[in-house]
Amino acid sequence: MQHGFIKVGAAIPLVSVADPQYNVDQLIALAHKAHDEGAEITVFPELCITGYTCGDLFTQQTLLQGAEEGVKRFAEATSAYDNVYIVGAPVYVYGALYNCALVVQRGKILGIIAKCYIPNYGEFNERRWFSTGYNLRTEGNIEYAGQSVHIGSYQIFHTGRYAFGVEICEDLWSVTPPSSALALQGAEIIFNLSASDEVTGKHDYLRSLIAQQSARSMAGYVYSSCGFGESTTDLVFSGKAFVAENGSILNEAKRFCFDAQMLYSEIDLDKLRMERRGNTTFATAQADLYPKATHVHTAPITEKECTLTRHYCRLPFVPQGDVLDAHCDEIFNTQVAALAKRLTHIHCSKVVLGISGGLDSTLALLATVRTFDRLQLPRTNIIGITMPGFGTTDRTYQNALSMMEHLGISQLEISIKAACIQHFSDIGHDINVHDTTYENGQARERTQLLMDVANRENAIVIGTGDLSELALGWATYNGDHMSMYGINAGIPKTLVRHLVEWEANNRYEGDIRRILLDVVNTPISPELIPAKEDGTIKQKTEDLVGPYELHDFFIYHFMRSGYSPSKIFYLACRTFEGEYDETTIKKWLTTFFRRFFQQQFKRSCLPDGPKVGSVSLSPRGDWHMPSDASAAQWLKECEEL
């Protein structure tokens, strides 16, 4: 599959206990289905050849011989495919019985993996029948199902494009799961064959365990557990299956289903490799690693064109679902804790903010109000300054005044028009030429006013610029680019809008809520160009640099996932299908990369500001890039889209 995605499958077949003939028929049917639907590797449940609940029948030669014949028949039935299948069977070798996973491709058994951790608790005490894979001190080849096959507990399989490892059920629950060692030795996807019985509350714990192990090992994790047909003498098996990646559950099966199931998703190898490259503790953990894995090479697996089934959020920075309230409150608390620390450290009890009536200054004001309330400082120590200029509209002007009044902060109004006219005259600039000098002159005049008032009041200037503006360089150097503490620096524009709306709906009511919601619905603009004849905003930021929902999507997947322009373009076209056509997405993606590289010099000298999420542009701790780095490689790829 293109763009670094690998389609994987988790199969849950119907089971007849101790009947390898029936079970293999079920496995073959699902193997054909997995092949037809493009899964490169498919994992089946633990001991799926015989069924998991055979009990003392595992000691019977008849069952063991039937299992071996069943594995041989399964291998022959799938010999025309280069797909890989992982099935479970009991294997008797060296005078002991092992609970094993068998990796099968093109009719060949590539390896046999013995389960390491054998449970001795609960209703199904596996130690009654099975030995631990750690007993396989002498790993080597054995004769099984008519083939010479390597057997051992730690094996990594290389396809030429990626590597994967296998562990079995209880291995995951152990203090040191084999998957951890396999991941550190190169396995990028882990497959788990399991037979996990159903106990109230266990499912949620298991789900969390799988997500956490995929995060800890920075790997894909594919899990399949047996379902309908296993004996219910004492236990019930509901048929659990998961596909996880680096802490996220991508897909999961429906439990308590009476039919066979196939679960699919796509593992993103590009993202996993980006995570591992950027995490030096991963490399540190590789030193003196034991036990060492045996490396096995598969036959090449044909890359198939498959439809991407994974969902990518349009607004990756915005909290979704049940965590919405908790995450929004946590973000505000992060801002509050940061600003409170800065104020107490410098023994400052006053701040100055420029209040424009726009989103960014509104968020900064709301967070500052929360901070002063927590520190039990009077809100009047917050000095809000509105500075109307040539492009200020009545809507934003009135909202700015009303907000300051309703929130009970100190208010100043200082027009910048006269000062800018004088300044333009001093430098010989025609005021009728609305160019960069005209715009930036206003921005710097506002910053000078804020700084000077802060000096007079023994206060600090709170910056209002957000992460999206910093990524695009959409700020005037030494104008709104500068402050004494940038409280919004870690928050992208789409999240700014959402936070203001959330705060309005959850902490305020009446007129102030109405005002805040009107701010949310106001077009984003620096208001540096005179308004239209009807008094509405003429200069709309998103008309000039592109929609922020696209840019935030680009920022997230470039910085957090390390994606190339072509992959970001592919995902954006799918995610925003019906909203933006490919030409539009390509245009703004090119704009993003051009501006991101060109404007690094502004980020290299940013004021301090709190990190809020996993993406940050701070030059001190997060994004280190020279100001003269070339964008040529990225722009070339954009041109070729």
Active-site amino acid positions:
46, 115, 169
Cα–Cα distance for residue pair 455/451, rounded to 1 Å: 6
Burial class (CB in 10 A: 0-12, 13-18, 19+), 632: exposed
Tell me the pairing of strands 189-194 and 220-225: parallel
Could you give the angle at the alpha carbon of 39 between the alpha carbons of 560 and 13, nearest 5°? 120
| Sheet with 410-413, edge to edge strand ranges | 410-413, 382-386, 351-354, 460-463, 485-486
Structure tokens at 454: 């802060």
- Hunting for tokens 């509105």 — which residue is that? 386
Cα–Cα distance for residue pair 532/393, rounded to 1 Å: 9
Cα–Cα distance for residue pair 401/403, rounded to 1 Å: 6
Structure tokens at 606: 């940013």
- Hunting for tokens 């071996």 — which residue is that? 68
Cα–Cα distance for residue pair 355/385, rounded to 1 Å: 6
User: How remote is the C-alpha of 330 from its chain's centroid?
Assistant: 18
Q: Which of 125, 555, 149, 129 is nearest to 315 (CA)?
A: 555
Could you give the angle at the alpha carbon of 203 between the alpha carbons of 198 and 204, nearest 5°? 155
- Hunting for tokens 């996973």 — which residue is that? 101
User: Which residues have CB under 8 Å from 56's CB, separation 6+?
Assistant: 128, 129
In b/e form, how buried is each residue of 182-216, taking b as 16+ CB within 10 angstroms? bbbbbbbbbbbbbbbbbeeeeeeebbebbbebbbe
Peptide bond into 316 cis (omega under 30): no
Structure tokens at 125: 């005490």
Q: How far apart are the first and last CA of the chain?
A: 18
Q: Which of 337, 308, 284, 307 is nearest to 487 (CA)?
A: 337
148-to-80, 143, 175, 298, 599 alpha-carbon distances in Å: 20, 5, 33, 15, 61
Burial class (CB in 10 A: 0-12, 13-18, 19+), 600: buried
Q: Which of 363, 566, 527, 524 is nearest to 438 (CA)?
A: 527
Sequence letter at residue 30: L
484-to-295, 345, 472 alpha-carbon distances in Å: 55, 14, 21
In b/e form, how buried is each residue of 319-358, taking b as 16+ CB within 10 angstroms? beeeeeeebbeebbebbbebbbebbeeeebebbbbbbbbb
Structure tokens at 453: 């008032």
